[in-house]
Structure 1
């Protein structure tokens, strides 16, 4: 469990640097240069993600159950994951209505992912992981809203509604792959095994 906690703190902490220490990023870019800062940040993010994944795998084997969610919660979680993956796809494409209306579709995607998994998983390790990511998403969204109001952050302008269609198609395909194949292959649990 300790590895999972350290992994969560490192990974989410790295992704909150701009929120908790706004000048740190700029000072690091000034001293290292933007390319070296981005490379170091990417490497640190990847290593902390690997630690988080490994720690979660280890913690799953030893932690108990905090609560036993009803079976129907898994169905809600699977449905919410469709929305999360459409939002994720929208975040990676030029802005359509989804991206413009949600403002930060990737952060929303993470929050939906975390919330849906909290509904369907009651193991201590799962609750810790998904609650941490949900809290991170909430904190980051608040910080992004403040940056928008201060004029530090400009939202992506609307480009075309066709990107909503693309996001929906990509999201549905990704959802089908994750739901019917990848989740069980990567995590060892089928989201449909209820």
Structure 2
């Protein structure tokens, strides 16, 4: 694959990922497919585009920037376990500070869960994923891939904060933020059964990613 083709896949990736922040396009798709249909369809599309982009990076011309070493792979495993834990503790949980929260009207700022540590856990997970994958992938195409995606995740914090402050109103946003920051860093979960279930999901997701890596990405993570 040429650098031009790799760049074209990159552009297509960002175009598809701009859909949720374009109210007109999102509204039309939601009216056509329903909120649930849009959510499921967009999740499948974004996942497929990410896999395509990673595959394209592997097909781009190889230009080594630093050599691969075993410790880099172990660091990536530890980082990905952290990513899985963050995802398991944040998916389908109320989060009025970010996009995609479930039942945001039920959000309790005095028991904010993982949002006590970050308003945008999904973006944090993406940033960690990109960062730990930079270590064992020291060629130019993958450095561009993970460097851009990691920067996109970091920049997304400020972009989403501005949009949500505008939607909620600065005074309401600030009051909710103050309550979130005042909550204890560590609290007993409201449901130990639900908490243990999410931890089990995190471990299962981590094991699944290790198993699927050679089939989906083409390279073993081990």
Bigger Cα displacement from structure 2, 122-131 vs 139-148: 139-148
Uncovered stretches (5+) of structure 1, i.e. residues with no partner: 20-24
User: Would you say 1:177 and 2:176 are equivalent positions?
Assistant: no
Alpha-carbon shift at residue 48 of structure 1 (Å):
4.5
Q: Structure 1 160/15 Cα, relative in aligned 2: closer, same or farther at 3 Å?
A: farther
* Aligned-CA RMSD value: 3.3
Give per-residue Cα distances to partners, 1:57-77, cap 9 Å, x unaligned.
422xx3221212443122111
Structure showing greater radius of gyration is 2
CA distance in 1, matches of 2:25, 2:122: 25
Q: Structure 1 83/56 Cα, relative in aligned 2: closer, same or farther at 3 Å?
A: same
Alpha-carbon shift at residue 86 of structure 1 (Å):
1.3
Q: Structure 1 44/178 Cα, relative in aligned 2: closer, same or farther at 3 Å?
A: closer
Note if contact 1:80-1:113 (Cα within 8 Å) is conserved in structure 2.
Answer: yes
Alpha-carbon shift at residue 170 of structure 1 (Å):
1.0
User: Would you say 1:34 and 2:33 are equivalent positions?
Assistant: no
Alpha-carbon shift at residue 94 of structure 1 (Å):
2.6
CA distance in 1, matches of 2:48, 2:83: 25
Uncovered stretches (5+) of structure 2, i.e. residues with no partner: 95-111, 184-188
Give TM-score scaled by structure 2 length: 0.66
Structure with greater helix share of residues: 1
Note if contact 1:8-1:132 (Cα within 8 Å) is conserved in structure 2.
Answer: no
Q: Paired residue for 1:133, among 149, 163, 175?
A: 149
User: Would you say 1:52 and 2:42 are equivalent positions?
Assistant: no
